[in-house]
Amino acid sequence: MQIRTHLTMLVRINSLIFWFGLSIICEAQYKRLELVLATPNKAIFGPDISQFYMYTNRSFEGQPSKPWQGGKYGYVRNPKRTTSGIIYSKFHEGVDIRPIERNSRGVPLDKVCSIASGKVMHTSRSAGASNYGRYVVIEHDWGYGKFYSLYAHLADISCTVGQSVRPGTSIATLGYTGDGIDRTRAHLHLELNLMISRNFERWYRRHYVAPNKHGLYNGINLAGIDISGLYKEHQKNPSITLPQFIKKTKPYWKLLVPNKGMPLIMKSYPWLAKNMADATNNPSWEITMSRSGIPLSISPHNKKVSSPTINWVDYSATPHSWNTRSRLTGNKDKAKLTAIGLRFVQLLMEK
Ligand SMILES: [Zn+2]
C-alpha cells in the first residue's frame, strides 16, 4: 500500500516536473509574433474600420442590406430577432478584406501576402475544389504548436508547397473564386487557425463519401481564432503570444471525455494543459471550449463518464445551437451534444 502511494506520488511528481519543464522550455523558445497585414488594405488600424471589410448581402425581415459587419470575424451572419434583441447565429471563421485597387473592368489587383514567417503547406489551385475557391495555407511555428493562416477566394496563386515565406512575401492575387461571390464582392477571406487533428483523414473517411482533396488543410480540420482581435492586441502589445491571446476568450461550454490516454491535441498545443498535477489515473478529461469551438484548456477530471458529456454550459436565453454552430442543443443552463457536436468531439479526440 505504502509502495503504491510512493509510486503514485512519484508519477505525480514526474508528471509535474515534465509539464513544468515543458512549459519553461516552451516559453523560453517562444518566438516574437511578427504579424503583418495580408493586403495593402490597412483600414483595420484607421479611423473607419468599415473600409477594411467587404460587406455581405443580407435579407432580413424582407429588407435587403449590405452590412460591412458581415465581413467581420465571429457570429456576424444570419440575424434572428429574439426577445433579447437581434442575435447572429452564423459564425464567420475569418475576416473578409476589401480590395483597394481595381482595373477599369472592376477586377481587383491587390496582392496577397503571408502575414508572418512560415512555410506554404497547401495550395488549392482549382477554383471549384472548395467553397474557399482557390486557397493557400501557410504553417507558422512560434514555439507553441503550429498555427495555420489561410487565404481564400484567390484569383491566382504565385507560391508553391514547401516554399518558405517571410512576413509580407507575396503569395497570390485577391479574387472572387469560391461559393457565393462575384466581382463586386471580391475579397480576401483570411483565417488564422489551430489544427484540430493530425489524424483528420481517418475521421474524414468515416463521415464523408467524397474524397478529401485538401488533406490536413481541409477547412473542417482548421479552427479559426479571432484574427482581427489579434491584430489589434498585437498592435498594443507586440510581445503577446497566441496562447495568451486565446486564453482570454470567454468559455462557453465544458465537456468531459473518458480518459483513453492524453488527447493528441494536448501534444500539439501543450499550453492547453491545466492542473496537470492532478493527472494520475484521472477517469476523464475536461475540455473547455469557446462558443466557436476553440479549445481553451484541458484538465484532468475525477468524474467517470462513459461517453463525451457536457459538464457545464454558459447561460443563454437563446438556443445553444445558435451560439455553438449547432454542436449543442438545449437552452438556459442545460445543453447536450448534437450529432454534429459529437462528430466534432470525435475529431478533437482522434488518436
Ligand atoms: Zn469570409
pLDDT in tens, 160-219: 999 999 999 999 999 999 998 999 999 999 999 999 999 999 999 999 999 999 999 999
Ligand 1 centre distance from Cα of residue 184 (Å) = 14
Distance 190 CA to ligand 1 centre (A): 7
Q: Which residues pair with residue 164 across a beta bridge?
A: 119
**Residue 1 pLDDT > 50:** no
Q: Which domain range does residue 127 map to?
A: 32-240
Whether residue 308 sits in one domain with residue 260: yes
C-alpha of residue 347 to centroid of ligand 1, in Å: 23
Domain co-membership, 54 together with 137: yes
At 98-107, the pLDDT tens digits run 999 999 999 9
Note whether 75 and 157 are same-domain residues: yes
Give pLDDT, residue 151.
Answer: 98
Over residues 226-262, the pLDDT tens digits come to 999 999 999 999 999 999 999 999 999 999 999 999 8
Distance 71 CA to ligand 1 centre (A): 6
CA of 189 to the centre of ligand 1 (A): 4
Whole-number percent of the chain with pLDDT over 70: 92
What is the mean predicted confidence (pLDDT) over 84-96?
A: 92
Give the length of the chain. Answer: 351
Distance 66 CA to ligand 1 centre (A): 14
Report in angstroms the alpha-carbon separations of 120 from 158, 216, 320: 11, 13, 37
Q: Which of 213, 240, 267 is the last residue of a domain?
A: 240
Average model confidence (pLDDT) across the chain: 92
Q: How confident is the model at residue 84 (pLDDT cuts 50, 70, 90)?
A: confident
CA of 25 to the centre of ligand 1 (A): 37
Tell whether 159 and 39 lie within a shared domain. yes
Amino acid at 311: N
Same domain, 206 and 61: yes
Q: If pLDDT is split at 50, 70 and 90, which confidence band does 76 have?
A: confident
Q: Residue 72 — very low, low, confident or very high, per pLDDT cuts 50/70/90?
A: very high
Its pTM stands at 0.91
Contact 225, 193 (CB under 8 A): yes
Q: Are residues 269 and 219 in the same domain?
A: no
**277 or 5, which is more confident:** 277
Count how many domains the chain has. 3
pLDDT tier, 351 (very low <50, low <70, confident <90, very high otherwise): confident
pLDDT at 349 exceeding the cut of 60 = yes
C-alpha 191 – ligand 1 centre gap (Å)? 8
pLDDT at 337: 97
What value does the mean pLDDT take over residues 51-75?
95
In the reported structure, the alpha carbon of residue 156 is separated from the centroid of ligand 1 by a whole-number distance in angstroms of: 17
111 lies in the same domain as 255:
no
> How does residue 20 score in pLDDT terms, banded at 50, 70 and 90?
low
- Asked if 178 and 100 sit in the same domain, the reply is yes
Q: Are residues 145 and 46 in the same domain?
A: yes
Instruction: Give the C-alpha distances (Å, rounded to integers) separating 202 from 221, 223, 265, 307.
Output: 12, 18, 16, 20
> Same structural domain for residues 190 and 320?
no
Cα 93 to ligand 1 centre (Å)? 7
Mean pLDDT, to the nearest integer, of 117-136? 98
Cα 188 to averaged position of ligand 1 atoms, centre (Å): 7
Reading the block at residue 121, the C-alpha cell is: 503547406
Instruction: Residue 256: name the closest of 339, 175, 120, 348 by CA.
Output: 348
User: Which residue did the predictor score with more confidence, 182 or 4?
Assistant: 182
Instruction: Give the closest residue to 193 by CA, choosing from 127, 125, 138, 238.
Output: 138
The enclosing domain of 53 has a CATH number of 2.70.70.10
% of the chain beyond a pLDDT of 90: 84
pLDDT digits (tens, 9 = 90+) for 266-275: 999 999 999 9
Nearest to 281 by CA among 301, 265, 309: 301
- Same domain? For 213 and 79 the reply is yes
d(CA 313, CA 329): 11
Examine the pLDDT at 8 and tell me if it is beyond 70. Answer: no
* Shared domain check, 41 and 190: yes
Answer yes or no: is pLDDT of 156 > 50: yes
